[in-house]
Structure 1
Amino acid sequence: MTGFGITDEDIKSFTTSNAGLCGIDTSRLSRFLLAQLTSAWKHRTINTFAVTDVIQQLEGRSPLPSMTAKPRQFKGDALRGLWKVHFFDARFLGRNILNEWSMFSSKSNKFEKLCARIAAEEEEAPSRVGWQGRLAHAFVMEGYRQRAAKQKLTGEWLIFGVHEQINIYLSICTHSNGPEQDREIYDALFALCGDEFPDVFAQQTG
């Protein structure tokens, strides 16, 4: 626990008092995931409800619609059989907005069309904030709303396994950059969670 800056008492406090885990069987959350969430909660590095809300949705306990892509299995050989789902936190907002307007694509003219539309609207009905404020508002607010409506908000991964139709939640994790990193992620998960949930990993090798 030293690497997380937490104690066993911290984990107990988080597990028993956090509203995001209400009704959730925490025995199906790995000790490693609970340590990650407790550390995030204690040190305020991410909003833990961003993760627990996803778990509530996967368990069918939340009436709120998901704003991220549906859960899906990994395709690469190293992580094949395990599942991933995105969770969204405010710190990922900028990336999602840039993605929505295809700012990294030289083939897209979405941003140019937005600028042209804002210029036309400003000319027709000048605003108090000017075209700059109008553009900034549309860029951020429309970008976020459109991304969420399409269930394309991206963030980091919550990785889980499924054994006998029951979800076993293993870890939150940054995106992989390819097969080599997939293998590193699998090896780390196996080392950290393999003894706790051997049936999940038996499915990967068996």
Structure 2
Amino acid sequence: MDRKTERAIFLAVLEGKPYYDRLSKKIVESLLEENAKVFTSVVSEVDALENISEVTRTKRQSKFSGDVLGRLYHTHYSTSDDIAQNIELHWGRADLQEDPSHPNSLLRKAIEADLQHADMWSEAGVIAKKIVSGYDERRAKRKISGEWIIYGVHEGLKYYLDLGYHGELIDEVALYDRLYSSCPEFDFCFH
């Protein structure tokens, strides 16, 4: 499918959503520029926020903290591109570092055991399952991370401003300014 056809399909999907009039022009533009997996993930998350579909397995939505972004909210969306990050977030936790079942411990033990080739492949399968179990655990606890859908709440309704990225928190003022200047139709979310 060519990009023009894909964009037309994306727009038709968005226009059919009951919250379409609460999507900023900027977030619609951003979504039309994304690939299908990001588009689908974002729409699924917004559908869940709007109680149109089942709850997803990403982190629960929350309000930004601080004086700059404190009036705005975010929820995560996640694609297959975020699987490795979520596995790393799980196994990188300090409380698991000394766990004898940590994949690093299992790998060290396998190397120190000087296993034969076939046994090493078997142990590699055990370690791989253990690594993936970290993702499964995060998913079951609704701790899957990814990037953000940023929104404001006004008179009890959510107004979707744009997509955001963790790295943007380095400069909260720049993120706020970007959102404020690109979403004039929802300026009431900022006051």
TM-score range, shorter chain: 0.7 to 0.9
Tell me the residue number matched to 1:132: 124
Higher helix proportion? 2
* 1:24-78 residue CA offsets vs partner (Å, 9 max, x unmatched): 321111111111111113xx5x431111111001101112x32122111111211
How many Å separate the matches in 1 of 2:9 and 2:168?
Answer: 35
Residue identity (%): 26
5 Å-filtered alignment, 1:67-86, equals 67-86=57-76
Tell me the residue number matched to 1:3: none
Tell me the residue number matched to 1:171: 162
Shift of 1:109: 1.9
5 Å-filtered alignment, 1:36-185, equals 36-41=30-35, 46-63=37-54, 65-102=55-92, 105=94, 108-109=96-97, 112-115=100-103, 129-140=121-132, 142-176=133-167, 178=169, 181-185=171-175
How many Å separate the matches in 1 of 2:98 and 2:138?
Answer: 14
Taking structure 2 as the reference length, what is the TM-score of the superposition?
0.81
Task: Figure out how many residues of one structure are paired with residues of the other and give that number.
Answer: 181
Counterpart code for 1:26? Y
Counterpart code for 1:158? I
Q: 1:160 to 1:177 in 2, by over 3 A?
A: closer
- Asked if the contact 1:21/1:52 (under 8 Å) is kept, the reply is no
* 1:167-190 residue CA offsets vs partner (Å, 9 max, x unmatched): 000011111465x51110000111
How many Å separate the matches in 2 of 1:128 and 1:117?
Answer: 11
* 1:140-174 residue CA offsets vs partner (Å, 9 max, x unmatched): 2x111101011111001110000100100001111
- Asked if the contact 1:71/1:84 (under 8 Å) is kept, the reply is yes
Look up the SS of the partner of 2:178 in the other structure. helix
- Asked if the contact 2:168/2:175 (under 8 Å) is kept, the reply is no
Q: Kindly report the root-mean-square deviation, in angstroms, between the aligned alpha carbons of the 2 structures.
A: 3.0
How many Å separate the matches in 2 of 1:10 and 1:30?
Answer: 20
Tell me the residue number matched to 1:14: 10
Look up the SS of the partner of 1:198 in the other structure. helix
Look up the SS of the partner of 1:66 in the other structure. coil
Flag structure 2 segments of 5+ consecutive residues without an equivalent. none
